[in-house]
Amino acid sequence: MKIFLYYIGKARDAHANAMAEEYIKRSTRYATCEMREIRPQRFDPWEKHPAAFKVLLDPLGRAMDSAKLARIFDRDLVFIIGGADGLPEEWRDHADLLLALSPMTMPHELARVVVAEQIYRALTTLRGHPYPR
């Protein structure tokens, strides 16, 4: 299983970046995990990861609890967090899952931390690790 966390826009908050990177680093104990910035005009997630399940973060997406999210961790996954202007509209139409973190607005750096932590939580849940209790 491979998991990719992509985000649009510069990562500016050093503390939030460090937290997200720490959760991704911890996740590599259980699966291949990467996190990086992308530019939509130069990156096509469907071309780069044709077989992966694409999860796009969107305020109008489905809300899920951590246990339900963990159930999709049985294949390669691509998570994409939009920038200040969100995601390209055509991407939303092709997503396998639109996922909402919260009805509240939050900085993209914080969304990255939340998603990275949820990736780690899902992987540890599936392995029976005590972290998610």
The answer as to whether 101 is a domain residue is yes
Asked if residue 2 lies in contact with residue 31, where contact means CB atoms within 8 angstroms, the answer is yes
Q: Give the pLDDT mean for 109-128.
A: 95
Where residue 54 sits, what CATH number does that domain have? 3.40.1280.10
The answer as to whether 97 is a domain residue is yes
Distance CA(56)–CA(78), nearest Å, equals 8
The answer as to whether 132 is a domain residue is no
The answer as to whether 6 is a domain residue is yes
- Whole domain around residue 88: which residue ranges? 2-126
What is the per-residue pLDDT across 60-93, written as a single tens digit (0 to 9) for each?
Answer: 899 999 999 999 999 999 999 998 888 998 999 9
pLDDT at 38 over 90: yes
The answer as to whether 26 is a domain residue is yes
Q: How many domains does the chain have?
A: 1
